[in-house]
């Protein structure tokens, strides 16, 4: 049986490979971990999900003799699958904090995407492949979107054209996959690209790619696709605000302008479901990502909050799209006087299956400090986590509140002329950042914050709006336009979705890369599928 022959996984401990592990197990294989270079040489099938930075990875591989073992394994044409950095490391060198020498098996230099031509970096999301040659594992995947998350890429050339099996367009035509004989590597993440698990599944994506690598002799039924993926898709994200209710159970809640309590005599926390169940449901319904926000994390210590870690572990076992978790990421000293750094908190989240972490309050303090001093001291949680895990793994969640003003000169923050005047006829507004779940306003605007956190290493912005949260009147277009035009990292529009039309509106009128909703999904008022169908009808690229 398949399970007799294990899969050898090269995990050098730099980040989250839990989802790759889960996906392999899901497909019926045992996972053996590489301990020594001999384990590589003796592997029947080697999966190499590279994570972290290029230089750090090469360092580890060179020090313990793994680099040499990988090269000789690949030169013998043994079954190999590299993922993401696991593809890049096969090249001669990378410009990431470099030049840094790679394994040198494929001619070419890995360079950074150019964000000057309007393409946001990191390249995050579901993009289309251009199949260049028969790659076996990618057979007919070319019609579907697959999930990418990276800032660096290798480019096709005459020297490496024997290797290139597919490309992807994102400003440049970069290498999406390589194949020679039994050696495969992909820049995207099959383990995060969804996909049904039955052999008769009509959906040939994600896990199917992994399955074809693991069961090379499998002939899979082909089904013509109705629509071909063309370019980077706009993402539709389901968000679960999670907290413990008054009985101590972790539940999904939903606020009304951030107020999550029922206005009854008991004043209980509003409950909309169980986190793991809802996350699975949204994955099946076609959500492109799922976010968990531990909304009381600012006062409770998240590592004390074991149920939240458990939620992540369970969810990542069978939800094969990216998972983000936020709430309480900061330095903390517990009741016993033990100090935890924000990096430790984030690492625990990554180990439990998060692909990205999201920072709220702590990013506001870091941005204020940076703007006050003009120096990046490298000590903020934002800087530390993005240095170790890469900026594509760090989201900053902004919780701004609209403040109307008569005259832009009245404040030192970036103001806009609002589409709809304020209650006293004010024509201008600024967006004040808050911390602690909207409880405290801070002397910094959303615009200033967004620009500062981009410089400090954020890879994406989750842009909420307290005024619009739970109102179902549509996203705050003024705010989202302001912020998505100000930064060159992807922006997720959040707060206020009430209908499928609100999604097309935000994508038409702003440069948001993704749109997130909570209430309408939880209350089953607007299914994710109908949002996608509407966007398709509006000629907005989405993943089907
Ligand atoms: O400050 O690092 O501990 O992070 C706390 C995190 O928890 C932040 O990301 C913050 O946005 C979030 N949060 C804190 N309090 C609340 C609350 O609601 N009382 N939730 C809260 C934020 C906003 C969105 C919501 C959208 C869409 N919730 O997550 O899902 O507004 O809702 P809708 O579609 O129903 O309109 P830290």
In sequence order, what DSSP letters do the residues of 208-229 get, joined into one string? HHHHHHHSTTPPPPP---SS--
376 CA to centre of ligand 1 in angstroms: 27
pLDDT in tens, 416-460: 999 889 999 999 999 999 999 999 999 999 999 999 999 999 999
- Using a 6 Å cutoff on CB, does residue 498 contact ligand 1? no
295 CA to centre of ligand 1 in angstroms: 6
Amino acid 451: pLDDT: 98
Distance between CA atoms of 242 and 291, rounded to whole angstroms? 10
Pick the range with the lowest mean pLDDT from 68-72, 107-111, 346-350, 494-498.
346-350
Query: Average of pLDDT values for 391-396?
Result: 94
Domain of 462: which CATH number?
A: 3.20.20.70
Count: domains in the chain: 2
Is 418 part of a structural domain of the chain? no
- Catalytic residue chosen out of the listed positions 92, 288, 368, 399: 399
Residue 242: strand pairing partners: 252, 294
Strand, coil or helix: what is 254?
A: coil
Is 426 part of a structural domain of the chain? no
| ipTM for the complex shown | 0.98
Does residue 251 share a domain with residue 204? no
Does residue 304 share a domain with residue 158? no
Is 228 part of a structural domain of the chain? no
Does residue 27 share a domain with residue 162? yes
Q: What mean pLDDT, rounded, does the chain reach?
A: 91
Is 226 part of a structural domain of the chain? no
Choose the most confident range, by mean pLDDT, from 214-223, 224-233, 404-413. Answer: 404-413
Q: By alpha-carbon position, which residue is closest to atom 8 of ligand 1?
A: 360
Residue with tokens 């907005």: 540
Confidence label for 517 from pLDDT (cuts 50, 70 and 90):
very high
Label residue 134 exposed, middle or buried (CB < 10 Å: 0-12, 13-18, 19+): exposed
**Is 426 assigned a catalytic role?**
no
Confidence label for 5 from pLDDT (cuts 50, 70 and 90):
low
Q: β-strand 172-180 against 164-170: which pairing, if any?
A: antiparallel
More confident residue, 174 or 269: 174
Does residue 296 share a domain with residue 149? no
- Using a 6 Å cutoff on CB, does residue 357 contact ligand 1? no
Does residue 129 share a domain with residue 191? yes
pLDDT of 204 strictly over 60? no
pLDDT in tens, 84-133: 999 999 999 999 988 999 999 999 999 999 988 789 999 999 999 999 98
Does residue 120 share a domain with residue 205? yes
- Using a 6 Å cutoff on CB, does residue 518 contact ligand 1? yes
Does residue 208 share a domain with residue 103? yes
Domain of 145: which CATH number?
A: 3.40.50.880
258 CA to centre of ligand 1 in angstroms: 7
Does residue 171 share a domain with residue 274? no
pLDDT in tens, 341-385: 999 999 999 989 999 999 999 999 999 999 999 999 999 999 999
Is 110 part of a structural domain of the chain? yes
Amino acid 304: pLDDT: 67
Amino acid 134: pLDDT: 75
**Is 189 assigned a catalytic role?**
yes
Q: By alpha-carbon position, which residue is closest to atom 6 of ligand 1?
A: 327
Confidence label for 196 from pLDDT (cuts 50, 70 and 90):
low
Q: Which of 182, 214, 246 is the last residue of a domain?
A: 214
Amino acid 225: pLDDT: 58
pLDDT of 392 strictly over 70? yes
Distance between CA atoms of 301 and 349, rounded to whole angstroms? 13
**Is 410 assigned a catalytic role?**
no
Q: By alpha-carbon position, which residue is closest to atom 19 of ligand 1?
A: 258
Q: Which of 214, 243, 271 is the last residue of a domain?
A: 214
463 CA to centre of ligand 1 in angstroms: 10
Does residue 174 share a domain with residue 279? no
Amino acid 208: pLDDT: 85
pLDDT of 302 strictly over 70? no
Q: In which domain, by residue range, is 317 found?
A: 235-396+445-537
> Which atom of ligand 1 is closest in space to residue 472's alpha carbon?
36
- Catalytic residue chosen out of the listed positions 11, 92, 132, 241: 241
Distance between CA atoms of 476 and 502, rounded to whole angstroms? 10
Query: Average of pLDDT values for 56-82?
Result: 95
518 CA to centre of ligand 1 in angstroms: 10
Amino acid 198: pLDDT: 43
Q: By alpha-carbon position, which residue is closest to atom 7 of ligand 1?
A: 295
- Using a 6 Å cutoff on CB, does residue 521 contact ligand 1? no
pTM of the model: 0.94
- Using a 6 Å cutoff on CB, does residue 298 contact ligand 1? yes
- Using a 6 Å cutoff on CB, does residue 459 contact ligand 1? no
Does residue 146 share a domain with residue 61? yes
- Using a 6 Å cutoff on CB, does residue 236 contact ligand 1? no
Is 457 part of a structural domain of the chain? yes
Is 357 part of a structural domain of the chain? yes
- Using a 6 Å cutoff on CB, does residue 342 contact ligand 1? no
Q: By alpha-carbon position, which residue is closest to atom 26 of ligand 1?
A: 495
57 CA to centre of ligand 1 in angstroms: 35
Does residue 382 share a domain with residue 240? yes
Label residue 128 exposed, middle or buried (CB < 10 Å: 0-12, 13-18, 19+): buried
pLDDT in tens, 249-299: 889 999 999 999 998 988 889 999 999 999 999 999 999 999 999 988 777
**Is 241 assigned a catalytic role?**
yes
The continuous run of DSSP H or E covering 174 comes out as strand 172-180
Is 414 part of a structural domain of the chain? no
21 Cβ neighbours under 8 A, 6+ residues apart: 9, 11, 31
Does residue 469 share a domain with residue 358? yes
Query: Average of pLDDT values for 55-69?
Result: 93
């Amino acid at each position: 049986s398949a399970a007799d022959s294990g899969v050898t996984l090269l995990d050098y401990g730099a980040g989250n490979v839990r989802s790759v592990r889960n996906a392999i197990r899901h497909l019926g294989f045992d996972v053996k971990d590489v301990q020594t270079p001999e384990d590589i040489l003796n592997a029947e099938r080697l999966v190499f999900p590279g994570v972290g930075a290029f230089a750090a990875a090469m360092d580890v591989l060179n020090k313990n003799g793994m680099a040499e073992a990988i090269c000789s394994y690949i030169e013998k044409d043994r079954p190999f699958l590299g993922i993401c950095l696991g593809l890049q490391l096969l090249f001669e060198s990378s410009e990431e904090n470099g030049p840094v020498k790679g394994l040198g098996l494929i001619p070419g230099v890995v360079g950074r995407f150019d964000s000057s031509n309007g393409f946001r970096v990191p390249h995050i999301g579901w993009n289309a492949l251009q199949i260049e040659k028969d790659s076996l594992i990618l057979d007919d995947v070319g019609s579907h979107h697959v999930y990418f998350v990276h800032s660096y890429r290798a480019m096709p050339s005459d020297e490496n054209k024997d290797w290139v099996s597919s490309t992807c367009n994102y400003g440049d035509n970069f290498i999406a996959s390589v194949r020679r004989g039994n050696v495969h590597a992909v820049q995207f993440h099959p383990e995060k690209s969804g996909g049904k698990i039955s052999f008769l599944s009509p959906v040939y994506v994600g896990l199917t790619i992994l399955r074809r690598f693991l069961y090379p002799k499998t002939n899979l039924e082909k089904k013509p696709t109705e629509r071909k993926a063309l370019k980077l898709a706009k993402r539709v994200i389901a968000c679960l605000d999670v907290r413990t209710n008054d009985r101590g159970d972790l539940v999904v809640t939903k606020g009304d302008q951030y107020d999550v309590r029922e206005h009854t005599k008991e004043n209980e926390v509003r409950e909309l479901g169980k986190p793991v169940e809802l996350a699975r449901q949204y994955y099946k319904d076609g959500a492109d990502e799922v976010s968990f926000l531990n909304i009381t994390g600012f006062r409770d210590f998240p590592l004390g909050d074991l149920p939240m870690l458990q939620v992540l572990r369970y969810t990542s076992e069978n939800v094969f799209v990216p998972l983000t978790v936020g709430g309480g990421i900061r330095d903390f000293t517990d009741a016993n006087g033990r100090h935890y750094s924000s990096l430790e908190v984030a690492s625990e989240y990554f180990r439990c299956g998060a692909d990205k972490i999201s920072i709220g309050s702590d990013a506001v303090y870091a941005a204020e400090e940076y703007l006050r001093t003009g120096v990046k001291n490298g000590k903020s949680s934002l800087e530390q986590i993005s240095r170790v895990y890469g900026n594509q793994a760090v989201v900053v969640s902004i919780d701004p509140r609209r403040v109307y003003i008569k005259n832009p000169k009245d404040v030192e923050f970036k103001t806009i002329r609002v589409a709809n005047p304020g209650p006293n006829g004010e024509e201008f507004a600024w967006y004040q950042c808050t911390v602690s779940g909207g409880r405290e306003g801070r002397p910094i605007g959303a615009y200033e914050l967004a620009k500062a956190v981009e410089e400090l290493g954020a890879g994406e912005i989750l842009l909420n709006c307290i005024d619009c949260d739970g109102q179902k009147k549509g996203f705050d277009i003024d705010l989202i336009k302001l912020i998505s035009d100000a930064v060159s990292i992807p922006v997720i529009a959040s707060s206020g979705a009430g209908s499928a039309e609100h999604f097309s509106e935000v994508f038409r009128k702003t440069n948001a890369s993704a749109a997130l909703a909570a209430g309408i999904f939880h209350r089953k008022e607007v299914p994710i599928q109908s949002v996608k169908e509407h966007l398709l009808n509006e000629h907005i690229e989405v993943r089907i």
